[in-house]
Amino acid sequence: MKLAPRARKAVLTVHIVSSGAWIGIDVLVAVLVGVGLAGGSDAARGLALRALAEFVVAPMLISGLVCLGSGVLLGLATKWGLVRYWWVAVKLVMNVLLCVLIVVALQPGMADVGAAGVAIEAGQVPATDLSNLVFPPAVSLTMLAVATLLSVYKPGGRRRSRTAPRGVSGGTTRAMSEARPTVHA
């Protein structure tokens, strides 16, 4: 599969915007968690936790899936491939892992977080231990920062490939020429 240069640029734009949106939503989550755990009045803490439970997971998952879909399209439609280069393969694994974590680890706890927000607003002690809430934004922001670094620097080094003949660099695009020399398995 090959994309025309204009189409590739359009998909790349979608990819960059969705990854930026994802990072932005993660920053918002970090702020809401910070306020929810340590932010001043009960009203502010409760509101932050209810907003976190109510509004965050869906846009986060959507931006993650758009980033994944556009990234896979870019990988398949360019000479970077999906698993040909370490930097793309690692991003693929991290993107899938983060989306799975949103569904299986983050979403199921949101009802309790919302209930904790309501309890705090009512001046009660929440039934749920909220301290684990620091992990989702910390883990996600770290992985997305690593993914962004990998995307920008595109560290050289091809994965072992039975189809790639020795001595063929396989890259002629602008982005390929910016990458460090490839190391063949």
* The one segment of 45-53, 76-84, 104-112, 132-140 that binds ligand HEM by CB under 6 A: 76-84
User: Using the rule CB under 6 A, which residue among 35, 52, 88, 113 binds ligand HEM?
Assistant: 88
Q: Residue 135 CB, nearest distance to ligand HEM (Å)?
A: 18
* The one segment of 43-51, 71-79, 108-116, 118-126 that binds ligand HEM by CB under 6 A: 71-79
Q: Which letter does DSSP use for residue 133 in this model?
A: G
Q: Which residues pair with 85 in a beta bridge?
A: 158
Q: Residue 138 CB, nearest distance to ligand HEM (Å)?
A: 16
User: Using the rule CB under 6 A, which residue among 36, 39, 46, 71 binds ligand HEM?
Assistant: 71
Residues 6-25 that bind ligand HEM (CB under 6 A): 8, 12, 15-16, 19
Does position 75 interact with ligand HEM (CB under 6 A)? The reply is: yes
Does position 122 interact with ligand HEM (CB under 6 A)? The reply is: no
Q: Quote the crossing angle between the two packed helices 57-77 and 86-101, to the nearest 10°.
A: 160
Residues that bind ligand HEM (CB under 6 A): 8, 12, 15-16, 19, 67-68, 71-72, 74-75, 78, 80, 82, 88, 91-92, 94-95, 144, 147-148, 151-152, 175
